[in-house]
Amino acid sequence: MSKLSIRDLELKDKCVFMRVDFNVPLAPGGQEITSDKRIRASLPSIKYALDHGAGLILASHLGRPKGKPNAEMSLKPCAVKLAELLGRPVTMAPDCIGAAVVAMKPKSGEVLLLENLRFHAEEEKNDPEFSRQLASLCDVYVNDAFGSAHRAHASTVGMIAFVKQAAAGLLMDKELEYLGKATTNPDRPCVSILGGAKVSDKIEVIQNLAKVVDQLLIGGAMAYTFLRARGEATGKSLVEEDKLELAKQLMDQLGPKLMLPVDHVVSAEFKADAPHETVTTIPDGMMALDIGPKTIEAFSAVVAKAKTIIWNGPMGVFEMKPFDTGTVALAKAVAGSGAISIVGGGDSEKAIKSAGVADKISHVSTGGGASLEFLGGTVLPGVAALTNK
């Protein structure tokens, strides 16, 4: 899927509409940004456009204002933070469409941030007239919001019908490059590590990756649905009873590709520093909260030989010590493998940070739901809509 890139566009003296992901966490009251990670992730594309002589319109959603203005979900704090990061003024628009916004069209080198797209219900409805009004603001369109690419909204899909060229930004380019290669033509051996709570959240991912990977390592609570389906005791561990038959089918499909935990750190209580022990068979009244040392060793041995690693989801309740041991150990194994490593999902990202190895991971996806859908083989509407090369 080769899409037009911002690098392919003539930007000088053009007005560029760039869809970014400024859906940042805000402190209560909506005035203070508690993490500017998403704004920083957009800086390469923003700087590229400005360095090449564009006037830049930035657009994003923030939160779920339900189609009407909400002062606590205004993008004004993002304008302040972006100006600070860029070291140049960022003008804040009063809305995202209308005569007042049209009159604020930025000249070369200027930046205009539109107000929250979702203050209009037409954004999520992918309304054609709203799309047309957004498109009328610009000469060319760039989508750098991979995290919203799985949504067919006006700013990610609809307005592209009304522009001459629609290209991927640098962040979107990077996501498509890493995730695309990993799911179609990975360097081998290719290993995927999947964790988290539910098999049901990752059925499509498991089925799609089964066609690609050489080994699939499953940990976290979702492993216990598989183990129960295999007839093993799981105690009070989280199990999706309605997914046992599906788990059997997936195990038949995957065969020796699939690796499950062989030992477990268990406790009677779901709380930090609860009394715990390591077992190979989970007793009644106990729940598995992390993978055990034999599993860590087995998984790490597979990871050490990998050339491509795709990781989504923790190996246990890693927010609570001591049940973070397995996740942190795997993070260090991935970082030390020398493989092309792709990490997706907020929990996995927190894990590599807590393990102190974030700088040794090849690519940390900003996508969340979008990266999961991509790994599951879904064609993302916001990607499909971009102009082909």
The residues annotated as belonging to the active site are 38, 198, 346, 369
Quickly tell me which residue has 């080198």 as its tokens. 109
Contacts of range 320-325, beta carbons closer than 8 Å, 24 or more positions apart: 320/271, 320/272, 320/273, 320/289, 321/272, 321/273, 322/265, 322/273, 322/276, 322/290, 323/265, 323/267, 323/276, 323/289, 323/290, 324/290, 324/351, 324/354, 325/265, 325/290, 325/296
Q: Classify burial at 128, counting beta carbons within 10 Å of its beta carbon; exposed 0-12, middle 13-18, buried 19 or more.
A: middle
Q: Classify burial at 34, counting beta carbons within 10 Å of its beta carbon; exposed 0-12, middle 13-18, buried 19 or more.
A: exposed
Distance CA 57, CA 17 (A): 5
Rounded alpha-carbon distances, angstroms, from residue 95 to 10, 65, 134: 28, 14, 11
Q: Which of 37, 262, 296 is nearest to 147 (CA)?
A: 37
- E-strand ranges in 190-275 read 190-194, 215-218, 258-259, 264-267
Q: What is the DSSP letter of 191?
A: E
Q: Which of 178, 128, 156, 136 is nearest to 21 (CA)?
A: 156
Q: What is the DSSP letter of 136?
A: T
CA R_g for the chain: 23
